[in-house]
């Protein structure tokens, strides 16, 4: 596809697509919105007109359109698996909202299908593309905090409107799948994938049947380093993580959803006192879209496996390979399922 633009189809006019991803697509080089489908035809037509695309009657029509090279799938989490599979079977590259699916077996199957088909499959964690995390990892690698002993990470949001899909168990709602997956991905970023879930709790709203808050403790058996994760959707907005080492501590606020004009500040506390590392603003949504377009272009140019489906992460944990690889998506799904099992066990259920 080198020398021409990735033509994107949209399956569903979700809020994140309208507010964040489509504006980024319009600014990103090498990718353009070509076709739109939505359960609401009027909404599809409005979006299509705004971006110079065509409104098609349904999702299947987008997948059947030969002009479409790749699709973005922002439908509710419980519907991801069916539409991601359908897109891959139609020969389309896929950018899917997180979580990729709601269970690890299906995630592994879709990653394998993408690899076999030579297609890019990306789970849309935008924060991994922000250079602030590379800066954190560089400081850790230079010994700024000594040996890493523990990570704490939190992502919490205020209550949503009563009809929000996050409160729908049939659509894959709940705090863990919506916001808890962010600190979980951060734990992998900072401590690596060799983590196990030592314990977890989930607070469930009985009227809605979904978890609205939770916490998890993860451990890295090789050296005993731990990660304490907090998440919820009945809280003050919080988006941060902290790395505690043998000689220092590093804190990052606005870790997961910083606005494009936000200037990140890394607070490093060590033997010499507190130092502020100020970084330049960065649009992580634009960066994520550009990375996806670059991966698709690379696959089409070489005929090789998709950048988002490889099991060989690069040395850069925030790069295209490691930040969004199929191996990490599969491990993410496994850890999420383990948190659910441990939480069940904590209230007297069977953790198997």
Distance of CA 124 to the CA centre of its chain: 4
107: closest CA among 332, 317, 340, 339?
332
H-assigned helices in 147-280: 175, 181-191
CA distance 268 to 266: 6
Q: Which of 345, 296, 254, 314 is nearest to 121 (CA)?
A: 296
Length of the chain: 352
Is residue 98 part of the annotated active site? The answer reads yes
Which H/E stretch holds residue 31? strand 31-37
* Distance separating alpha carbons of residues 145 and 80, to the nearest angstrom: 39
Rg for the chain, CA atoms, rounded: 20
Q: Where are the beta strands (DSSP E) in 127-278?
A: 148-156, 196-205, 210-220, 225-232, 238-245, 249-253, 265-270, 273-278
Can you tell me the distance from the alpha carbon of 107 to that of 259, in angstroms, rounded to the nearest whole number?
30
Active-site residue (options: 43, 45, 98, 341): 98
CA torsion through residues 16, 240, 293, 166, sign: negative
Quote the CA–CA distance of 299 and 24 in Å, as a whole number.
22
What is the DSSP annotation of 251-302?
EEES-S---TT---EEEEEETTEEEEEE-----HHHHHHHHHHHHHHHHHHH
SS3 311: coil
The catalytic site residues sit at 98
């Amino acid at each position: 596809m080198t020398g021409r633009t990735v033509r994107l189809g949209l399956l569903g006019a979700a809020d994140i697509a309208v507010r964040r991803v489509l504006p980024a697509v319009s600014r990103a080089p090498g990718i353009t919105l070509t076709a739109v489908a939505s359960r609401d035809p009027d909404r599809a037509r409005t979006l299509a007109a705004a971006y110079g695309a065509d409104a098609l009657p349904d999702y299947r029509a987008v997948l059947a359109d030969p002009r479409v090279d790749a699709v973005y799938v922002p439908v509710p989490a419980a519907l991801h698996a069916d539409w991601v599979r359908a897109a891959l079977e139609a020969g389309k590259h896929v950018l899917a909202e997180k979580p990729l699916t709601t269970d690890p077996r299906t995630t592994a199957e879709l990653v394998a299908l993408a690899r076999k088909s030579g297609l890019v499959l990306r789970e849309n964690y935008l924060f991994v593309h922000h250079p602030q995390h590379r800066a954190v990892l560089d400081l850790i690698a230079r010994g700024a905090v000594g040996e890493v002993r523990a990570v704490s990470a939190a992502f919490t949001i205020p209550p949503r409107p009563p009809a929000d899909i996050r409160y729908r168990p049939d659509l894959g709602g709940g705090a863990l799948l919506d916001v808890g997956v962010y600190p979980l991905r951060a734990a992998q970023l900072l401590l690596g994938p060799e983590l196990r879930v030592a314990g977890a709790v989930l607070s469930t709203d009985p009227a809605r049947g979904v978890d609205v808050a939770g916490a998890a403790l993860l451990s890295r058996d090789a050296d005993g380093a731990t990660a304490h994760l907090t998440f919820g959707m009945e809280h003050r907005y919080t988006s941060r993580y902290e790395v505690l080492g043998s000689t220092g501590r590093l804190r990052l606020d606005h870790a997961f959803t910083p606005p494009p004009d936000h200037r990140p500040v890394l607070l490093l506390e060590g033997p010499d006192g507190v130092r502020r590392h100020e970084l330049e603003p960065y649009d992580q949504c634009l960066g994520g879209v550009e990375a996806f377009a670059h991966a698709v272009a690379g696959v089409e140019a070489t005929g090789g496996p998709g950048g988002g489906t490889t099991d060989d992460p690069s040395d850069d944990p925030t790069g295209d390979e490691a930040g969004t690889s199929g191996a990490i998506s599969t491990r993410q799904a496994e850890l999420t399922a383990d948190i659910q099992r441990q939480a069940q066990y904590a209230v007297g259920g069977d953790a198997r």
